[in-house]
Every structure is written in C-alpha cells, then in structure tokens.
C-alpha cells in the first residue's frame, strides 16, 4: 500500500508540474504577442484604466469582430480585442461599440459629426516587402482595393522594372497618418501568412527628439519675450560689464 501511495503521489506531482509548465509557457507566449483594441481605444493605459470588462462593446459589434480575452490570449483577461486576420473591423458608420461603452474607455469623441471613422486609430498596417508578391513582380492590389480609405491610407506606387526594362511594379504603400488600422487589408491578403499586418501604433511609430528639425518644416516659434538687441557701440557695451 505504501508503494502504491508513493507512486500515486509521484505521478500526480509529475502531472501537476507538467500542467503548470504548459500553463506558464502559454502565458509567456501570450505576453510576447500584441493585441488590436476596439475603435476609440487609442491610449492603452487610459483604456485599461477605464475599461470595466463588461463586454457591452463585444455584444454591440454586428460582425462578431470583438471578443473578450481569456487566460490564453495576449491581452489582459476580460478586455476586448480583435484579430484582423480572422475578423477585421468593418468600420460601422455609427460605431456601435463606442456607443455601448459605459465608461468612455472607448472614447466617445469619435461619435461627433466632425470625427467619425476616419479619426480612429486601432493600429497601422505594415507591408512585408519580402513576402508581398507585388514586390516579386506579380500583379496584386487586393489590399489596395479593399481599403476603405483607398488612395489615402494605401496607395499604389509605380516602380520601373530594371530587369526587363519594360514592365513596372505596382507596390502598396501605407500612409501611417491616415491608416485607421481596421485590418481589412490583412484579412484580404492572398499570401498564406499575411504580407500586410496591422500592428498597434506603439509597435510601429517612432519618435524623434525635439531638437531635430524636419526638412521643409516651418522654423520653431520665437521666444515669447524676445531679447532687445543693444544699439550702443559694441565697445561701450563690452566695457560696461553687462556680460
């Protein structure tokens, strides 16, 4: 009996360790992933602070785009997110998910007449030129065609084919400032794994130091209290000890 009890405890402990290891590995894998949030949740910190995990935005979505995160998902448990490759955001004109949010975690400012779907920023589409067949010379403009902001968020750039000297590439180019991150392009991409993906803005956008000045940009504003230049003789000014 003692031997049987020992074996039972040993097997139980081994199963517990294996299950715990699998669960931990799953959690670690989830932390390395990213999540696309519903419309109106641009600021992740603000969103997480205001979201009460009620699921009303999920219920309001007519396309079943949104779902609540479980322990096996990368976002925090109970928070809404979507995976563009599975079901993208179809940019409902009335944005019902934002209307349903009771805490303004999904910012209600986008419901104003002068805002709307073009003011949203769920992420930014990024093209992988190594796997996009358009960069191979294959005529494909699916992502361009399905983009709800065609010729604004995604444009086609013509590039001469130096190899044949007869043809041209039609390359998809994303304008980050216009792309709203709906994911329709990622969903429609014809490659086995999407050659265009929507990533959260924080994953894509950099930020230059303030002392850099972009070429063509207007010069920085002058100080609010400009210094009055000395009109006296320079030699007199230096001899007065005002320095």
pLDDT per residue as tens digits for the range 155-172: 999 988 777 777 788 999
* Predicted model pTM: 0.73
Mean pLDDT computed over every residue of the chain: 83
Whether residue 225 has pLDDT greater than 80? no
Say what the pLDDT of residue 168 is. Answer: 84
Say what the pLDDT of residue 91 is. Answer: 96
pLDDT band at residue 49 using 50, 70 and 90 as cut-offs: very high
Say what the pLDDT of residue 23 is. Answer: 46
What is the rounded distance in angstroms from the CA atom of residue 174 to the CA atom of residue 185?
A: 11
**Radius of gyration, CA atoms only, the chain:** 27
Say what the pLDDT of residue 24 is. Answer: 47
Whether residue 125 has pLDDT greater than 90? yes
Whether residue 21 has pLDDT greater than 80? no
Q: Which two tokens stand for residue 95?
A: 């944005």
Whether residue 217 has pLDDT greater than 90? no
Q: Which two tokens stand for residue 50?
A: 């205001």
Contact 107, 66 (CB under 8 A): no
pLDDT band at residue 205 using 50, 70 and 90 as cut-offs: confident
Tens of pLDDT, residues 137-155? 899 999 999 999 999 999 9
* 195: nearest Cα among 157, 243, 150, 140: 140
Say what the pLDDT of residue 155 is. Answer: 96
Say what the pLDDT of residue 212 is. Answer: 79
Say what the pLDDT of residue 101 is. Answer: 96
pLDDT band at residue 32 using 50, 70 and 90 as cut-offs: very low
CA distances from 166 to 170, 227, 233 (A): 13, 62, 70
Residue 192 vs residue 72, higher pLDDT? 192
């Amino acid at each position: 009996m003692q031997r049987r009890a020992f074996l039972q405890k040993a097997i139980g402990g081994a199963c517990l360790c294996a299950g715990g290891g699998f669960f931990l590995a799953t959690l670690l894998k989830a932390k390395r992933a990213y999540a696309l949030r519903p419309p109106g949740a641009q600021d992740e910190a603000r969103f997480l602070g205001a979201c009460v995990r009620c699921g009303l935005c999920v219920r309001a979505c007519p396309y079943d785009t949104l779902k609540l995160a479980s322990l096996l998902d990368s976002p925090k448990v109970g928070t809404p997110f979507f995976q563009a490759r599975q079901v993208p955001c179809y940019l409902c004109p009335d944005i019902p998910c934002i209307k349903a949010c009771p805490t303004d975690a999904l910012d209600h400012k986008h419901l104003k007449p002068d805002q709307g779907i073009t003011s949203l920023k769920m992420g930014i589409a990024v093209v992988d030129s190594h796997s996009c067949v358009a960069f191979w010379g294959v005529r494909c403009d699916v992502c361009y065609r399905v983009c709800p902001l065609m010729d604004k968020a995604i444009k086609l750039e013509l590039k001469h084919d130096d190899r044949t000297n007869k043809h041209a590439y039609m390359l998809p180019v994303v304008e980050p400032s216009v792309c709203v991150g709906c994911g329709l392009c990622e969903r429609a991409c014809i490659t086995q794994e999407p050659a265009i993906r929507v990533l959260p803005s924080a994953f894509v956008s950099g930020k230059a130091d303030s002392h850099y000045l972009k070429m063509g940009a207007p010069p920085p504003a002058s100080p609010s209290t400009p210094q009055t230049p000395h009109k006296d003789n320079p030699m007199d000014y230096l001899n007065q000890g005002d320095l």
